[in-house]
Structure 1
Amino acid sequence: MADADGVKALGGLLNGIAQRVYYSNSEITEELLRSEIYPDMLQEEFHALHEKMRGILKSMATADMDQAQLEAFLTAQTRKQGGGGLSSEQAAALGRFWKAHRARIRESLLAQSRWEPGLRSVNWRVDLQTASSRGSASNAPVALVELELGRNGQDSEFVCLEFDELKVNHVLKKMAEIQESIDSIVHHS
C-alpha cells in the first residue's frame, strides 16, 4: 500500500509541476505541493525531489520524446548510480504521466513560443490600373496584400496594403537581408 501511495503522490507532484511550468498556473507553488502532497517530508528533501522531477520533465518536454525515446531515457535514469537515479516505480509514474500529458505540454510549449499577434494568413494579387482617379490612362501594376492577424482565442484583424513596383522591390530586398542575417546566425552556431 505504501508503494501505491508513493506512486500516487509522485503523480500529484508531476501534475503540479506541469500546472506551474507548462500550463501557467501561478497558484501552484513548491510549498503548496509539499504541504498538500508530501507534508511529512523535510523541506530540503522535497526541494531535491521537486527539482529532480522538474528537470526530468523538462528533458522529456524539450525533446518531445516518443515512446521509444521515453523508454530509453527512463531506463538510463534508473541505472544511474547514487542518489541521482530513479526507482522503477518513479520511472513507471513518469512514463504514465508523459503518455497522458505529452500532447498538451507540447501545445503549451508551442503557444508560449509564438509571438502575438500572429500572422494567420496572407492573400495577395497583382492588379493593373487601367485609369487613374484623374481619368488619365495608366498601366502600372499594383500588388494588393491582405494580412490576417490574430491573437489566440480572439477574432482576426485584417490589414490591407497596396504596393507599387518600387515598394515591392524594397520589401523583397529587406526580406533578402533578413534571410542573410538568419543564414549567418545559423551557420555560426
Structure 2
Amino acid sequence: MAEVEVEAEAEVKRLGALLSGVSRRLYHHDAGITEELLRGELFPELPSEQFAALRDKMEALLRSIAVADMDPAQLEAFLTAQGRKQGVAAVSAHQAAALSRFWRSQRGRVRESLLARSRWEPGLRGLSWRVDLQAAAGRGDAGPAGPLALVELELGRAEQDSEFICLEFDEAAMNQVLNKMADIQRTIAQRS
C-alpha cells in the first residue's frame, strides 16, 4: 500500500513540475522552458504526441483557473466537475491534486503577471492642471481672448523614468474635451 502512495505522490510532483514549467512559459515569459525540456526532464517515457496532449490539457486547465482567478472553493468545484467528464477530457485524481497544490502556492504570482499584462503602457502616473487668466492687456496687445487651461500629464512605463506632456486648451477646446469625457461616461454607464 505504501508503494502505491509513493508512486501517486511522485506522479503528483511530476505534474506539479509540468504546471510550473507551463506557468513560467505562459505567465513569466521564460523562453528557456521548451516542450523538449519539460518532456525530457519530467516524462521521458511518454511519446511526443502523448506528452503534447498532456501538456495541452494541463495548460488549458491552468488557463481556465487563472482567467477565473478561482478561490479554493471554486477550484474544488471546477476540478470535481472536470473529474466527472468521460474519456481524455477527464481530470484524474493526480492531475486534480497537482492543480490544487500548484494553484494554492502560485495563484498570487500568476495573478500579478496577468494584471501586469493587462495594463496599458505607458501608464498615467500623474496629472496636474491650472487655469491661466490674461491680465488686462495694453493697447495693441493681441493676447489670448480668454482663459487658458494648462494640463501636464506624467506618463511612464514600469521601472522607467517618466515623460511629461503639456497640453494647452482655450475655452472652446476645453469644452470639447469635457463633452467627450461626458460622452464616454454615459457610454460606460449604459453598458454597466
* 1:33 partnered with 2:11: no
Alignment of 1:17-166 (within 5 A): 17-131=22-136, 140-166=146-172
Deviation at 1:94, TM superposition (A): 0.6
Q: Partners in 2 of 1:28 and 1:56 — Cα distance?
A: 19
Matched residues, number: 186
What amino acid is the match of 2:165? V
Q: Partners in 1 of 2:80 and 2:156 — Cα distance?
A: 43
Deviation at 1:144, TM superposition (A): 1.8
Deviation at 1:92, TM superposition (A): 1.6
What amino acid is the match of 1:42? P
Task: Find runs of 4+ consecutive structure 1 residues off by over 3 angstroms.
Answer: 131-139, 173-184
- Show the counterpart of 1:2: 7
Contact 1:130 1:138 in 2 (8 A): no
Deviation at 1:131, TM superposition (A): 4.8
Helix, strand or coil at the partner of 2:167? strand
For structure 1, list consecutive stretches of 5 or more residues without a partner in the other structure.
none
Helix, strand or coil at the partner of 2:150? strand
Q: Partners in 2 of 1:97 and 1:135 — Cα distance?
A: 76
Cα deviation 1:20-68 (Å, max 9, x = unaligned): 1111112211222111111111111111110000000010011111121
Deviation at 1:173, TM superposition (A): 3.8
Deviation at 1:179, TM superposition (A): 5.8
Q: Partners in 1 of 2:148 and 2:65 — Cα distance?
A: 50
For structure 2, list consecutive stretches of 5 or more residues without a partner in the other structure.
1-5
Q: Name which of structure 1's ranges 139-148 and 128-137 shifts more when overlaid on structure 2.
A: 128-137
Cα deviation 1:46-101 (Å, max 9, x = unaligned): 11110000000010011111121111101111222222111222212111111111
**TM-score, with normalisation over the residues of structure 1?**
0.85
CA-atom RMSD in angstroms: 2.6
Helix, strand or coil at the partner of 1:152? coil
